[in-house]
């Protein structure tokens, strides 16, 4: 009798999990592949679960799905990140992209962490056709890895025998009105920078390198060699983002999370935005205090930010 009851309860849990997952996928327009990735299970398992045909550890899989859906529900009411704000730093980033795109030369954008470089580049890519946005890293800094990134980004489906063939296919697919943006360019080697410069030349496309000051310092170094000189001579616009965040920009961001924030909170947030991590640090504090105040009757106070200091320690 006890085994039957347990089986019946499990059947209810499975059914509820499947229905909740179907509802989530329909509301969000999420594919089975995307859901599988977010839940940490394979697409095949998701497919079998939705059809009621999964024969593996169904309790474990259902728990993973429920945990994911619960976290997504919490995120719906949380302050995850601010909407795009045209800060002073963002204006400079967009200017670099627009100039490199229009005049088909190389643009260089550098700045410290947390100043909104990536968000600004993504904003430009969303709002303009023919823009390829890629991010370099220590994991994809080889020639083959970058070639694969580019071929996937421009949807080159044909097979190619070597990198020169890949470049030819990329140029043919991009067209001369395109812009390639490479974020985190400090991870690109001299050889890769030179290769991308060649794509810019032969394909007549704009190119933006964005990253830390390491990128421009290498290109400007006269001892760096002929390859860097070739790239440096093609840089048509360069901007170094200001480390100083304005009060007006801070207010635009804070108002998204705390519409009725007091003057003392604005003062606190202004100071925090001008510390290490800039806008990124400010966003983390806002995330914490909004979450901490959720469900409370009283508004967010300075004490919530002080609690954030103790909890986050940044």
pLDDT of 168 higher than 80? no
Segment 254-298, tens digit of pLDDT:
999 999 898 999 999 999 999 999 999 999 999 999 888 887 878
Region 165-174: what's the mean pLDDT? 73
Can you give the pTM of this predicted structure?
Answer: 0.75
Closest by CA to 295, choosing from 147, 34, 58, 74, is 74
DSSP 182: E
Going by C-alpha positions, the residue among 80, 56, 61, 57 that lies closest to residue 21 is: 61
Question: Do 225 and 125 contact (CB within 8 A), yes or no?
Answer: no
Tell me the C-alpha distance between 195 and 104, whole Å.
16
Q: In this predicted structure, what is the pLDDT of residue 159?
A: 65
Q: How many CB atoms lie within 10 A of CB 299?
A: 13
Contact between residue 136 and residue 164 where contact means Cβ atoms under 8 Å apart = no
Cα torsion angle, 158, 159, 164, 170, sign: positive
Thinking of the domain 91-240, which architecture would CATH place it in?
3-Layer(aba) Sandwich (3.40)
β-partners of residue 237 are: 107
- Per residue in 205-264, pLDDT (tens digit) is 899 999 987 777 766 555 554 457 778 888 899 999 999 999 999 999 999 999 989 899
Q: pLDDT class for 19, splitting at 50, 70, 90?
A: very high
Looking at residue 309, what DSSP letter applies? H
We find that the CATH architecture of domain 2-77 is: Orthogonal Bundle (1.10)
Terminus-to-terminus CA distance in the chain, angstroms? 55
In three-state secondary structure terms, 108 is strand
Q: Long-range contacts of range 14-20, CB-CB < 8 Å, 24 or more positions apart?
A: 14/52, 14/58, 14/62, 17/49, 17/62, 17/65, 17/66, 18/49, 18/50, 18/52, 20/65, 20/66, 20/69
Return the sign of the alpha-carbon dihedral for residues 44, 49, 55, 56.
Answer: positive
- Read off the pLDDT of residues 93-149 as tens digits, 9 standing for 90 and up: 999 999 999 999 999 999 999 999 999 999 999 999 888 898 988 887 777 777 778
Round the CA-based radius of gyration of the chain to a whole number and report it: 24
Cα–Cα–Cα angle for 245, 251, 252, rounded to 5 degrees: 95
The closest of 239, 241, 302, 300 to 272, measured between CA atoms, is 302
pLDDT at 89: 96
Please, are residues 241 and 89 in contact by the beta-carbon 8 Å criterion? yes
CA 195 to chain CA centroid, Å, is: 25
**The pLDDT of residue 167 is above 80:** no
Residue 80 confidence (pLDDT): 66
């Amino acid at each position: 009798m006890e085994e039957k009851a347990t089986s019946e309860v499990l059947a209810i849990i499975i059914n509820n999990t499947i229905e909740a997952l179907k509802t989530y996928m329909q509301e969000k327009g999420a594919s089975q592949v995307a859901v599988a990735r977010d839940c940490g299970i394979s697409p095949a398992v998701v497919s079998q679960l939705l059809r009621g045909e999964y024969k593996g550890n169904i309790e474990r899989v259902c728990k993973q799905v429920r945990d994911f859906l619960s976290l997504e529900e919490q995120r719906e009411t949380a302050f995850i990140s601010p909407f795009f704000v045209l800060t002073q730093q963002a204006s400079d980033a967009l200017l670099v992209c627009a100039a490199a795109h229009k005049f088909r030369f190389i643009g260089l954008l550098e700045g410290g962490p947390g100043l909104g470089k990536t968000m600004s580049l993504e904003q430009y890519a969303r709002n303009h056709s023919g823009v390829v946005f890629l991010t370099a890293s220590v994991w994809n800094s080889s020639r083959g890895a970058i070639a694969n990134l580019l071929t996937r980004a421009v949807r080159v489906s044909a097979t190619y025998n070597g990198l020169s063939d890949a470049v030819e296919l990329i140029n043919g697919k991009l067209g001369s009105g395109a812009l390639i943006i490479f974020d985190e360019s400090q991870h690109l080697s001299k050889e890769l920078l030179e290769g991308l410069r060649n794509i810019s030349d032969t394909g007549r496309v704009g190119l933006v390198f964005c990253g830390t000051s390491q990128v421009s310092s290498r290109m400007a170094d006269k001892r760096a060699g002929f390859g860097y000189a070739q790239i440096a001579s093609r840089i048509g616009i360069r901007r170094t983002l200001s480390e100083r965040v304005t009060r007006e920009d801070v207010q635009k961001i804070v108002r998204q999370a705390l519409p009725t924030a007091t003057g003392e909170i604005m003062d606190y947030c202004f100071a925090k935005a001008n510390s290490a991590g800039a806008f990124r640090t400010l966003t983390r504090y806002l995330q914490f205090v909004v979450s901490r105040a959720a469900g409370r009757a009283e508004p967010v106070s300075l004490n919530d930010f002080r609690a954030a200091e103790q909890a986050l320690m940044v």
